[in-house]
Structures are given as structure tokens and as C-alpha cells.
Amino acid sequence: MFELTQDHEEFRRLVRDFAEAEVAPHVEEWDAAAHFPAELVPKMGELGLFGLNAPEEYGGAGLEEGGFTYLCLAIEELGRVDQSIGITLSAGVGLGINPILTYGSREQKERWLPDLVAGRTLAGFGLTEPEAGSDAGAARTRARLEDGQWVIDGAKSFITNSGTDITSVVTVTARTGQREYGRPELSAICVPAGTPGFIVEPAYRKLGWHLSDTHGLTFEGCRVPEENLLGSRGEGFKQFLKTLDDGRIAISALAVGCAQRMLEEASSYSKERVAFGRPIGVNQGVSFQVADLAVMVEAARLLTYKAAWLKDEQEAGRRSIAEVKQAAAVAKLYSTEAAVSSTRVATQLFGGNGFMEEFPVARFYRDAKILEIGEGTSEVQRMVIARGLGLPSD
């Protein structure tokens, strides 16, 4: 069975110290200004956080086993201080680096991975569209071959790390043809930042994740070389399904960081806040809620790190993709819903102070909801779990 090693725990402390020193002192100011701290990304790169899954030849850690668990530990600890910084790492690796690392040609890897792994640049993954979210196969963005180039037309929505000053490339899924049985042929294509016809729309005004970079993208006759195709033509659907499976475990780790912070905040406040002449934690109505938070955190963490362990075992050839897929959906469903519940409970325990931006529970309350939506909604996770149990489906 899985368990964290001493090396894992030492790495956790390393990332926690980094988050407390480099993020915590600035996060309230960054959040209020909706500022994406690009200057933090190279520092994360120097710590090796973007290269945990990458081989040494591209500047990565070259871990033979366990790399995904290390990544989840880093995401959890960053997310415990600020969820936006956690998702910047999660998306930077899971949606930016990993598709190129997994499916890219030698030339593509050599072109983009060294800078991405070092934190000098970021990459995005253009999947979601205005009318194609959970039904990603309904994508309308199209790419046609013309004189040795892919000509891309369409639009993408809610794309993380896609419009920063250090964004180097966005991998875009597009219709490149039609299959015999009526479904579209989807392929993934690497589009370098700054390519003519690649338009980054203004940043969204979001409920939460104010520090995270999120944009809509428009493609108008955007031309890239034919060799920018990522992997094989028509394999885009399979590629993004695997990318999302891995991403769900990472989002689970982010949710664990959120719930852990809420447990810490609620526990501390319940000891310090005095009402009717005694700490509010004396009241069972409060203490029982804090106890429930502890249970949620423990369960979410165990589900998440079991899924991460299975992912590492699958990469080593000892577990099946189906096992990882099911574990990822279970972890993502429980952990994200636990995170949302934990912020609601913590905010309620803080009373009026919980509604004030000077207290971190308010920021986490805003940030948590997207966890149930991104990388597959809770409804999609329930569908995946049901199918994994062999229940009939359409």
C-alpha cells in the first residue's frame, strides 16, 4: 500500500517554507490587485517544482519513480497559502508541460521543455470552448492543412497561463477532419505565443483565483507549421482525456491544501475568539464542526495521495490506466466538495469577520467553488465513477 516517505515529507517542508516566505507576505496585495506574479514563476522553477515529472535532459528532476506524488505535495502546500499559486503550478505542469512531454516529438520537446521546466516560460492547454465544456468532443475550433501549414479558426474559453508575458505556447485541440461514424476528428496542435492570428482576449473578471492568469483565446486564420501537430493526427481526444485524468488528481491536491488551511484557521479562531466570556470552541456547535473539518481533510488527503500513488505505479507499469482513472475521479469528487464545504464552515465560524477580506477565509471561500468545476465537474466525476463500476450508460 502507498505511504509517504521521509523524502516526501522533507520536500513538503521545503515547499511550505517557500510558500510562507515568498507567497504569504504578498498574497493579500496581489489578490486585491488581481495581479499575476510572473516574478514568482522562475523562483518556483529554481526550486525544481516545474520539473518534477521531467527527465534530466530537459532540466527536470529525473525521478525514476514517485514524481507525480511530489508534484501533488507541492500543489497542496502552495494551495494551502494561496489557491491561485497552486493552480499556476498545477496547470503549468499538468496542462502545459505534460502534453508536450508525453506526446511531443523530439524537436518539440527540445524547443519548449527546457524553458518550461526552468520556470522561464509557461504553457497553456486550449480545450474548453464557449459551447464545449464538459462535452469537449463538441469543439468547433477547426484546423485545415494548407501548403504545409495548419490554419486554425475558432475560440477557446477559460484557458489558464495563456496570456502572461512569459507564456511561450498553447496546445490547442481542433477539428482536423470527420470520422466515418460521424464524430469529429480532433487533433492537438502547438501554437506559439505571438503567432499572427492568435489573439489573447482580455483577462476575465473572476469570482476567485484572482492571481491566476485566465483568458479567452481567438484564432483567426492562425497559421503554424504542419510539424506543430502534437502526436498523431486524430489522437487529440485520447490525449486530452489522459491529460484530464492526471489533472484531476492535481486539483484534488489543491483542494486538500484549501481544506487544510480552513481547518487551521477554524481551529485557531475557535480557541481565540471569546463570546459570552469564553472561547467559542467550548461550544459543541463549534467544536463538532471543527472536528468534522479534520475528518474531511484526512479523508481527502488519503484519497488524493492514493490516486497519486496509483498514478506513479501506473507509470512504472504496475497498475492499469483504468485504476488511475477511477481513483482520480473519486479523489477529485470528494476532495473538491470537501474543500467547498470547509470554506463555508470556516467562514460561518468566523461570523462577520469571515465576510471581511482581511481574513483569509474570505479569499479561500471565493477560490474554492471553481474546484468543483474545473478539470471535470462533480457531475462528470460521478458519471466516470458510475461507468467504472460497470453501470449502464448511453
Helices and strands, number each (H, E), in the chain: 12, 10
Work out the mean pLDDT of the chain and round it to a whole number.
Answer: 95
CA dihedral 319, 320, 323, 327 (to 10 degrees): 70
The question of whether 375 is a catalytic residue gets the answer yes
Q: Are strands 167-178 and 149-160 parallel, antiparallel or unpaired?
A: unpaired
| C-beta separation of 253 from 68 below 8 A | no
| C-beta separation of 258 from 371 below 8 A | yes
Same domain for 243 and 364, yes or no, is yes
Q: What pLDDT does residue 77 have? A: 98
Q: Establish if 394 belongs to a structural domain.
A: no
DSSP symbols for 320-350: -HHHHHHHHHHHHHHHHHHHHHHHHHHHHHT
Domain final position from 183, 204, 233: 233
- Relative orientation angle of helices 67-81 and 284-315, to the nearest 10 degrees: 150
Give 1's pLDDT tier (boundaries 50, 70, 90): low
Q: Establish if 393 belongs to a structural domain.
A: no
Question: Residue 355 and residue 219: Cα distance in Å, rounded?
Answer: 41
| C-beta separation of 303 from 335 below 8 A | yes
- 18-22, 131-135, 153-157, 220-224: which has the minimum mean pLDDT? 131-135
The residue assigned the cell 528532476 is 61
Q: Give pTM, 2 decimals.
A: 0.96
Question: Residue 132 and residue 68: Cα distance in Å, rounded?
Answer: 29
Whether the per-residue pLDDT at 2 is higher than 70: the answer is: no
Same domain for 13 and 66, yes or no, is yes
Q: What pLDDT does residue 249 have? A: 97
Q: Establish if 141 belongs to a structural domain.
A: yes
Give 237's pLDDT tier (boundaries 50, 70, 90): confident
- 323-350 tens-digit pLDDT: 999 999 999 999 999 999 999 999 999 9
Whether the per-residue pLDDT at 136 is higher than 70: the answer is: no
Domain final position from 104, 121, 138: 121
- 216-220, 239-243, 363-367, 368-372: which has the minimum mean pLDDT? 239-243
DSSP state of 56: G
Mean pLDDT of 41-67: 93
Return the CATH number at 211. 2.40.110.10
State the catalytic residue, choosing from 22, 77, 129, 375: 375
Whether the per-residue pLDDT at 225 is higher than 60: the answer is: yes
